[in-house]
Amino acid sequence: MIVYHGSNMIVDHPDVGHSFRDLDFGRGFYVTTVREQAERWAIRKALFAKNSKPVLNEYELLSAMDGLGVRNFGDDLDSWIDFVCKCSDGDLGYQQYDIIIGNVANDKVFRVVDLYHSGVWDKDRALKEIRVYPGYDQIAFITQKAIDQTLVFTKALEVSL
């Protein structure tokens, strides 16, 4: 399977050591199966970093996940939303996994998660709202072992602004 990582640089040797902040699934190296999503992220990163260009990094995701702890939320938005909220609170429970797969809280979805997390909306209302947004995905590599075992860099392309 082909996966993508949007950046403002070529990332031919991904590592979890460069993760500087907790995202939806904690600290890790994130990829997606949706090329358009990664391209948008690359443009966003390049706009924030002076003198850089958006870069789409492409990888082959191998199916060799033997011995890895994988958490795949699939269509389970109920568990997903609680997990994302815990990660945003700094909970380190995500570290029990090597790879975490699920939806992505893009700008619109993040607002819904935030309204649920702050108690403004209950879970039923939040889940109903999330279901109307297009489903983007993300795969978070939490450990270097997972990257080394399953991810192979294939190429990098500059994205047009």
Query: Per-residue pLDDT for the chain (161 aa), expressed as one digit of tens each?
Result: 999 999 999 999 999 987 767 788 999 999 999 999 999 999 999 998 888 999 999 999 999 889 999 999 998 989 999 999 998 888 999 999 999 999 887 667 778 888 998 999 999 999 888 775 666 899 999 999 999 999 999 999 999 97
Identify any residues that bridge with 2 across adjacent strands, giving them in sequence order. 60
How far apart, in whole angstroms, are the C-alpha atoms of residue 36 and residue 76?
Answer: 23
Is residue 41 within 8 A of residue 126, CB to CB? The reply is no
How far apart, in whole angstroms, are the C-alpha atoms of residue 16 and residue 28?
Answer: 5
Using alpha carbons, select from 33, 29, 34 the residue that is nearest to residue 7: 29
Q: Which two tokens stand for residue 12?
A: 């031919």
